[in-house]
Amino acid sequence: MRTSRRIDFVRSAPLPMRNGVAPSRVHLPQGPWASMLDFLLERFRHIPPDILRARLARGDIVDDAGVVQTLDSPYQPLRWLWYYREVPVEVPVPFDLPVLFRDSRLVVVDKPHFLASIPGGRYLQETALIRLRSSLDLPMLSPIHRLDRDTAGVLLFCADAESRGAYQALFQTRDVKKEYEAVAGRREGLALPLVHRSRLQAREGHFTMQEVAGEPNSETCIELMEELAGGLGRYRLLPHTGRKHQLRVHMSALGMPICNDGFYPVLGAYAEDDDFSRPLQLLARGIEFVDPFSGRMRRFESGRRLAL
């Protein structure tokens, strides 16, 4: 149902896709604004007023009928405004995005570190979704699941919008086997393999997660694959659940934070520019499931290797 609504949304938009990006929209409620500019200045307070004025002056914003809105346009409620989301100049992520598999329904890629899965925040063109829509000429390509921007590895997209729900349902019912690999410090006296369970919730007013008291809602099996030099180890992580930052929080809670993790156990200083020489040592190594259409077992594996 949600997929159908998304298809209708894109098809009904008065603006076409542009460089793989669908237009965005904002609803115009009843209100006291005399002009369209007055509304936009209040609705988008985080955007400098000069930028909003410039976008209206350029004719970048239209209504449902495709009529261009200008600096002089009066405010007319109970309609939609359509526009293309813009972000500051993005720093190119200098890593490739190999396609591991492609058919009429599935596109499976080997995502590099530092590349976001989908647009959000300050990332738009430098995302796996937009790169693939452009390079594969699949404007309706959509994500089946996501990986953190800091995490590399196997990532699935759907090329047929009507099939997306069936694949997403596999993740919701936990019928997808996911295998991750991480490099982290070794902790003496900790018997491995082990299963770590805890209750995860978001930190108030923050984007990171924390373990709290209560019924566990996350579970990860952790195995030591090999001992590495410098007191490090290579670990296999098998999550049974898929909470945000789950693997990073669990490894940190056990006293083995993943190498180059800027969030756990302590949030590091925010850096505007990425240090491409220090990727998080976390990799979505493989994913396995029974295809809901063919009934065949599918397994896809990353060709990448973690290396400090």
Question: Residues with catalytic annotation?
Answer: 148
Query: What DSSP string runs through 245-281?
Result: THHHHHHHHTT-PBTT-SSSSSPPPP-SS--TTS--S
Closest CA to 145 of 9, 284, 292, 249: 284
Return the structure tokens found at 100: 């591991």
- ω into residue 257 within 30 of 0, thus cis? no
Q: Do 239 and 247 contact (CB within 8 A), yes or no?
A: yes
Cα 108 from Cα 117, distance rounded (Å)? 12
In sequence order, which residues have a C-beta less than 8 Å from that of residue 1 and are 6 or more positions away? Answer: 165
